[in-house]
Structure 1
Amino acid sequence: MTKFPGLILLAALTMSFDANAMMQHDGMMMDDKGMIMHANHDNLPRDCQKLAGDVDITIRAGHEHAQKFAGKMYAFDQQEWDVPPCSRVNITFINDDNIRHQLMIHGLPGYLYPQGMFHLELYGKGELKASLIMPAQIKTYLVHCELAQHMEKGMKAQLKVGGGDGDLPSIPGISPPIRADRYTQDWNTMTWLVMGLAFVVGMSLPLLMVKRKKPAADI
């Protein structure tokens, strides 16, 4: 039997406290599979008199969902959702890839959602569930993945409240980009010289190969 049972109990309590602090801290819940930030299941926005109801949405993220968009690498399985004002949106976020993906909603009221943000993140294949309550304002909110180049490569969508106040730019399949991708070639003198040289070499090689294969004449 140990001589210091009190110290062991204190150490156990300290370890338990640290684990809980790491798992849930300042609006963030995290484990080894993913993270939820600024979920809100109960608190009404200031412009809502009462909860309008619940809307359940499943959002999948991954490479396979980008196949329908030319030039895109990642995407959500849907690019737009429309919910009533003051509704509680219950989101099931599913990552179909073995890499990190996020689902972030921006532009929310900061007094209820710090930095105006709602955030779900999965470090690989998996599923997370969390809720948020939308304000009464008719508005279109940005939904995207903030990992480097994921949004630029297609993981961008929009959440409309009450029909929204228009479409955001560059939503795949919905709205055109502000600056469309351009793949232009500067046809200067050097470019033409390189093209001409490549043409001459390309035409000459088959002739040289034919000459080498031609049998020698009998003596």
Structure 2
Amino acid sequence: MVKLLSVGVLVVLFSAPVMAQEYEEHDSMLMDHGDGHLMDMAGGMVMGQNTDTLPGGCDSISETKEITVHAGHKYAELPKYLYPKGMFHLEVSGPAKISGTLILPPGDKTYLVHCDIAQHMEKGMKAQLKVGKGDGDLPSIPGVTAYVVSDDYKATLPELLAKAETEALIAPPVVATASPAPVKTVQQEDSVISGVTVIGLALGLLAAPFLARKFKGMSASEVVAYVFDLLRSFIELVVKLLSRLIKLVTSNKNKILPEK
């Protein structure tokens, strides 16, 4: 376990500079195009920014909050040899119509079809496309599955807070039961160098000079033949010793004690 952890730490340390090179800070690269629209040539964009116009009735900004959103880049898992970007995308401007064609791989799979604009997708501009029997239904698909979080604009905020407090009071208390602490068993870690390994290395070092002199000038086939000949001689010696031992045991059993 310690070896695996050490390898993992080394991988993380060596990959950290690579990951740092892939991350790019866009804040200092943005150019102001007016009307709160900032953009750079590397793909960064800010739209609708407001840095100095205060709302009505406000004399100053009371506090500043920073919100960090961690975004990924994973799309539908389409085969890269068919779709290098891993996704299928359509785009059009203004009141218009556009169509495209895609070929999906075989197998039971459910794909998400949606608008790229986040608010449009949240309000229902999405559907699911099933290949074969599909692998289940996606959540919050209009007309198919229920919303994960249903929006309710009928109640006011004080009413919702009062309802939440009432539900918390009605909920039964949770009784904590003490359970015996688990007994940790200390596992002996495997050592890279064992006693058998040390003995084998010692025998190899002792036999190395003899083998070097013995195999000097021999070809590979001659070395193999010599090794097999030694193995055959060793097996014959073991068989002879076993046969002598068996004869000795049987002869002792067949001896007849002398008469008095």
> TM-score normalized by structure 2?
0.30
| Largest Rg, 1 or 2 | 2
Query: Larger % of helix: which?
Result: 2
Query: Larger % of strand: which?
Result: 1
> TM-score normalized by structure 1?
0.35
